[in-house]
Amino acid sequence: MASPELENILDHYRNPRNYGELLDADIRVKDSNPLCGDVVEMHIKVRDGVVEDIKFRGKGCAISQASASMLTERVRGMRLEDVKNIDRQQILDMLGIELSPVRLKCALLSLKVLKTGVYTYLGQIVERED
């Protein structure tokens, strides 16, 4: 029998939360992990500096897709400034299992996508204000 952590990962992989797209997204960002073919795309709706809604699409291994599913659950309702502070250790704690260096890239792809989108969005706001 698999550990509860592994069961949780498999559940998020088989039944991803927040899967899909947002047609009115303020942030759309996509990236891939060429080593294993994982792809994650995120669509984020922002209101008053807060993640109002978030969806993701992608394909790849259970770790990459489960990580994206868990991360979208975690950041909905968070301030963008707080999203910027999420680090790799929080992702690893969320997954709850030991990962090889190759699988670490799978697990962190969704965080890379999320942060790229948030920083780009915030940078565009600063440019508009200048």
Name the residue ranges covered by the structural domains of the chain. 4-129
Q: How far apart are CA 65 and CA 63, in angstroms?
A: 6
Question: 4-129 has which CATH code?
Answer: 3.90.1010.10
- Using DSSP bridges, classify how beta strands 27-33 and 38-47 pair: parallel, antiparallel or unpaired: antiparallel
Residue positions counted in the chain:
130
Reported as a single tens digit per residue, the pLDDT across 67-99 is 999 999 999 999 999 999 999 999 999 999 999
- Regarding pTM above 0.85, the answer is yes
